[in-house]
Amino acid sequence: MSDVAESELSVFPEGFQFPEGFLIGASTSAHQTEGGNTNSDWWALETLEPSPLAEPSGDACDSYNRWDQDMDLAAAAGLNSYRFSVEWARVEPEDGEFSGPAIEHYRLMVAGAKQRGLKPVLTLHHFTNPLWFAQRGGWLAPDSSEKFARYAAALAPVIDEGAVAVVTINEPNMGAIMHRVMSGAASLGTGLGGLLPLPDPAVSAKLIEAHHVVAAQLRSRHNGLPVGWSVANQSVQWVAGGQEQAENYREAIEDIFVRAAVGDDFIGVQAYTRTVIGPNGKIDQGGRTTITGWEFYPQALADSIRHVAQLLPNVPQLVTENGIATADDSERIEYTSQALAGLGEAMAEGAAVRGYLHWSLLDNYEWGHWGPTFGLISVDRKTFQRTAKPSLAWLGRLARTTTS
Ligand code: BGC
């Protein structure tokens, strides 16, 4: 691609180098890519008749069988890291019944990433729950932390194969909101003035407890393993008359989860866009938007990094997600260039950032529909053939030239 070098130069000055060991890679999650995740609460929701979701995940990207192709493409482009998740519903399809083959599958994935020069970042929980866990109350069940800890213990062979970092729970703040939505207590459209419905504080508290229990367990069992969790960050802004509401909203939806990471080895930052709040709730900026309807706002990443650095000055950050749903791949490069430039500025001001993992490696199942394409690689929905987009070569080249 002829404009790769040109776009790249516009991100960082020539010769720019990230600190040694900086990760540049991409992220996926199991349910969104593997296909056939039949024992999970999401699968149950997708296959309800009628389902509140527009489309099911079905065979997804068939990555349960084709993960080696995904990793081959990522590594060939030059990425040095890959974040993926383990599907709890596969590892423990029934309460207390563990699947040896599923554990072996994920161990092989960690080994396969390492063989290709991709440092594996492992997520233990990415939105989906085993159906049995959901049916007994999900995170609200009194012993939910113990169940999660038992599952995490069963993953020892996977982690010990060489995960470079473990994210216990992906976006607990969105998970807490989903809990309300799944239990019928809220719909995604009922938030104040277009804001997201606030998480149920009881669910938030149980998620924080589960993270603390499992993080402590992992640290004691896996010497030196960096453990953290990843939070959905937005750039929350306000105009006159909106400050109090904006700060309260950010506190309940984001900041309590960020603060819960105090003492962790890192915090995962995941930022895509911004929310601007006025006296009457969310203010639609009316500008350029992406396929998900979110405002095109790459500065969200730097804003989030700065905000997290203020709340948690002593915890290093790892950008575990950032990206854009667009059918125009040059727009993906444009968005990501600006996001990365902002990341570089925040680092120059002192933020301790250890890596950047783009969302997503693949065009995958976007929680209810297939329309929003976040991928660096497209996937044919019938043949599952993968086609790398120019943005993959672009990000891989950036990784090769700025990291060591
Ligand atoms: C989630 C991903 C999701 C992405 C884009 C994050 O909230 O962790 O699973 O696909 O954002 O919506």
Residue 250, pLDDT > 70, answer yes
Split at pLDDT 50, 70, 90, the class of 190 is low
| Band of pLDDT at residue 184, cut at 50, 70 and 90 | confident
Which residues does 265 contact at the CB level (< 8 Å), separation at least 6?
165, 219, 225, 226, 227, 228, 315, 316
Whole-number percent of the chain with pLDDT over 70: 96
Q: pLDDT value at position 47?
A: 96
Expressed in angstroms and rounded, the spacing between residue 298 Cα and the centre of ligand 1 is 16
pLDDT at 20: 97
Phi, psi of 245 (to 5 degrees): -65, -40
Residue 8: predicted pLDDT: 52
- How sure is the predictor about 180, in pLDDT bands with cuts at 50, 70 and 90? confident
- 255 pLDDT band, cuts 50/70/90, is very high
pLDDT band at 183 (very low <50, low <70, confident <90, very high): confident
Please tell me the distance from the alpha carbon of residue 112 to that of residue 403, in angstroms, as a whole number: 21
pLDDT surpasses 50 at 368: yes
**Ligand 1 atom 10: residue of nearest CA:** 366
Q: How far apart are the CA of 23 and the centre of ligand 1, in A?
A: 20
Query: Using a 6 Å CB cutoff, which residues line ligand 1?
Result: 29, 32, 170-171, 174, 232, 270, 321, 359, 366, 374
pLDDT tens digits, one per residue of 370-381:
999 999 999 999
Under the banding of pLDDT at 50, 70 and 90, the label for residue 185 is: confident
Terminal CA-to-CA distance of the chain, rounded, Å? 24
What DSSP character marks residue 375? -
Beta strands at 353-359 and 227-238: parallel, antiparallel or unpaired: unpaired
What is the pLDDT, as a whole number, of residue 2?
42
The closest alpha carbon to 400, from 25, 61, 68, belongs to: 25
Q: What confidence tens digit (pLDDT) does each residue in 117-158 have?
A: 999 999 999 999 999 999 999 999 999 999 999 999 999 999
Mean pLDDT over each residue of the chain, to the nearest integer:
95
Residue 194 pLDDT greater than 80, yes or no: no
Q: What's the gap in Å between 371 CA and the centre of ligand 1?
A: 14
| Residue 195: pLDDT band with limits 50, 70, 90 | confident
Helix and strand numbers, DSSP H then E, in the chain? 16, 11
DSSP for residue 42 = H
For the segment 82-109, the average pLDDT, to the nearest whole number, is: 99
| Beta carbons of 57 and 39 less than 8 angstroms apart | no
- pLDDT above 70 (res 1): no
Can you tell me the mean pLDDT for 210-236? 97
C-alpha span between 95 and 380 (Å, rounded): 35
Closest alpha carbon to 346 in 374, 323, 316, 321? 316
Best residue for ligand 1 mutational test, from 87, 127, 294, 367 (most atoms within 8 Å of Cβ): 367
Question: How far out from the chain centre does Cα 280 lie?
Answer: 30
Tell the residue number behind the tokens 């990291």, with chain if given. Answer: 403
Share of the chain above pLDDT 90, in %: 90
pLDDT at 337 over 60: yes
User: How far does the centroid of ligand 1 lie from the alpha carbon of residue 232, in Å?
Assistant: 8
- Ligand 1 centroid–CA 403 distance in Å is 26
Distance 376 CA to ligand 1 centre (A): 15
Q: If you take atom 9 of ligand 1, which residue's CA is the nearest one? A: 29
